[in-house]
Copies of this chain bind each other. A is one copy, B any other.
């Protein structure tokens, strides 16, 4: 599963291995969407086939087609290149950032569950992951959210009336 060929079976991964993998992939994704953004954006040609943005454990990133199905591991959002010219650039960037966050969660917990981490250890893993800002927060250079429909700066903990 490791793109650099370590080849350790997923079932033997520890919480620390999962977290290190998460941090490496996250750093790569942040690079793609900040310092390397122009290069990344150019590569997302809407005329190309379906593309996915992968973060790699060594803090690099790759933009490429997903592998043939069936997939063993969770894959990033597919076809991000198609939307590049079809929506406002800031919205497109936010879309990719949030999908990247979602992919990191799914990847880390896919491994955690396969490796047999119990509820308490999954909780510890989440605490470690959540001690870092999301990629979306990083991309916007602040841990405040950009303007939304609502102006309240407080997180929504209210009970829905729906």
Which A residues form the contact surface with B (CB < 8 A)?
6, 8-9, 11-17, 20, 50, 69-71, 74-75, 77-80, 82-83, 98-99, 101-103, 105-107, 109-110, 113-124, 126-127, 130-131, 133-134, 136, 143, 145, 148-150, 155-160, 162
Q: Is the CB of A101 within 8 A of B113?
A: yes
Collect the chain B residues with CB atoms within 8 Å of residue A12's CB: 149-150, 156
Tell me the smallest distance from the CB of A139 to a CB of chain B, in Å: 11
Q: Of residues A14, A99, A102, A117, which shows the largest number of chain B Cβ atoms within 10 Å of its Cβ? A: A102
Q: Is the CB of B70 within 8 A of A79?
A: yes
Across the interface, A102 reaches (CB within 8 A) one of B74, B80, B99, B131, namely B74
Q: Can you name the residue of chain B whose Cβ is closest to the Cβ of A124?
A: B157
Across the interface, A6 reaches (CB within 8 A) one of B69, B102, B126, B162, namely B162
